[in-house]
Amino acid sequence: MAKQLTPQEKEHLFDIERNFDSKIAQYTTVKKRELSEGKKTELEKELRDLEHYLALVSRGEADDILSNIRFIQAKARALKKLLQTNSSDS
């Protein structure tokens, strides 16, 4: 049986869907700043955690709402691109 979402969870998911691009842009800006502050190791761990979670979802070992999965996928892509760009700049 599917989990019943709380009103707060529903609002959070609606906000993600409504502001998807701006939330990813904001996330990328924050991660760029963290990278410039020397937090590459922490960002690499965050990327591994995101990818691990997505692997769990794809194997059916974790359950999530499609809009949240899309958001996590977009965050992982943005973070991976940022880290790859930084590696090629070094």
29/78 Cα distance (integer angstroms): 10
Q: Residues 48-85: pLDDT tens digits? A: 999 999 999 999 998 888 889 999 999 999 999 999 99
73/12 Cα distance (integer angstroms): 17
- pTM summary value: 0.87
Q: How far is CA 74 from CA 1, 3, 7, 18, 83, in A?
A: 27, 24, 24, 15, 14
Residue 2 clears pLDDT 70, i.e. is over it? no
